[in-house]
Amino acid sequence: MSAALSPARFQSPFQRLARLISGITPGASPIDLAVGEPRHPIPPFVGPVLSANLDGFGRYPAIRGTDAFRRAVADWLDNRYALAGLIDPETGVLPLNGSREGLFFAAIEARDSAGGKSGRPAILMPNPLYQAYAAGAEAAGAEAVALSPASPGGVLPDLATLDPALLERTIAIYLASPSNPQGTVMSLDDWRGLIEIARRHRFMVFADECYSELYRATTAPPPGVLEAARYGLGLDGIVAFNSLSKRSNLPGLRCGFAAGDPDFLARWTRLRNTAAPQVPTPLQAVAVAAYGDERHVTENRRLYDAKYGLAHERLAARFGEVVPPAGFFLWLDVAAWGGGEAAALRFWREAGLRTVPGGYLAVPGPDGRNPGEAYLRLALVDDLATTGTALDRLARMLG
């Protein structure tokens, strides 16, 4: 089910939450479970690498990034997804000032690169969605079309049910796997099917993979869009986006990458060279170290798994399985407690828990139903003790 999205219909969920709880005294010392900002310790090599590269802050960085950065990303992708050299570091990688700005700017290049399309361009995106997708569509003058997943536990919408006329004017689709907020994962077959539809209708596939490394110890690493391209499909029309924010607990570093279709990246570089923020070379040096080290990422997953273990103990009796395959969110169906907005207000007023109503992360479909309305999103980003306290309060309130 799809819904056209206007900027007026989708606002920052955090601004909406602030208005919801404004003036209400929390019922206990506040614990913020709203913002998905990793709070685990930053890797120990960050300070020394920055210190050794301080002189880089005295020069304008190149938009293409350093040779070392592009090689590090290409090598990491090769190792992570068994790409057998599919990504050429010279032509297949660009640094981003965090994945968000890349996701935004990519919509503009998708518009400029779309040839032979008639009618108003459309950009497809998941529902729930990340605000940057809709902002990019607005900047590109495209219609933002939010697509609910084909099944409650899925990621991929049923594109086969969409109006062919819509697909013919589509210039790009954004999909996140692992998804935010559900934490569900697309299979290789999902990716292959999506790529084939995109090729048939000549639109770009933008894969938001910023949660790719936050999978559970009991699950396999999530497959990526580039992995699907490796098996005979090629890179045409495919770009993957990732960053160090979640993988390496470095949300403030603002360093990520785009990798994939070299022709698209070459055209996009011309736009980015006049409009997009460059990534300072000292930050790229940190990224080189980060993509060359998996020990801190393994420890990161261990910390999240421990918190999910607590969530299972405290909440499974009330909600059933609450542990997603990947990510760091809980996505709880609180319809029995009045839905996401009512639950968020109550949990703040009575327990000091700051959580996000699921309806704030989604938009109503053509039937008027918001697919996130019954849900509440909790970010398990704090330390184990704080997370345990928050889950204890939640369990007591739910009875």
Outline where 279-366 has alpha helix (H).
281-291, 295-319, 340-351
Q: Label residue 106 by pLDDT band (50, 70, 90).
A: very high
Dist CA 298 CA 101 (whole Å)? 27
Radius of gyration of the chain from Cα atoms?
A: 21
Token pair in block for residue 5: 């999205």
What confidence score (pLDDT) does residue 158 get?
81
Q: What is the pLDDT of residues 157-189, one digit of tens each?
A: 888 888 999 999 999 999 999 999 999 999 999
| Average pLDDT, rounded, for the chain | 94
**What mean pLDDT comes out for the span 235-263?**
98
Backbone φ and ψ of 333, nearest 5°: -80, 105
State in words which class domain 2-41+296-398 has. alpha beta
Outline where the chain has alpha helix (H).
13-21, 46-52, 67-81, 99-113, 131-139, 164-169, 188-201, 225-228, 244-247, 262-275, 281-291, 295-319, 340-351, 384-398
Dist CA 20 CA 18 (whole Å)? 5
Domain boundaries, the chain: 2-41+296-398, 58-293
DSSP letters spanning 225-242: HHHHIIIII-STTEEEEE
**What mean pLDDT comes out for the span 277-302?**
98
In CATH, what number does 58-293 get? Answer: 3.40.640.10
Measured N-to-C along each axis, helices 281-291 and 67-81 cross at an angle, to the nearest 10 degrees, of 30
Q: Label residue 156 by pLDDT band (50, 70, 90).
A: confident
DSSP letters spanning 358-377: GGGGS---TTS--TTTTEEE
- Cα 137 to chain centroid, rounded: 16
Dist CA 290 CA 286 (whole Å)? 6
Nearest 5°: CA angle at 254, between 249 and 259?
95
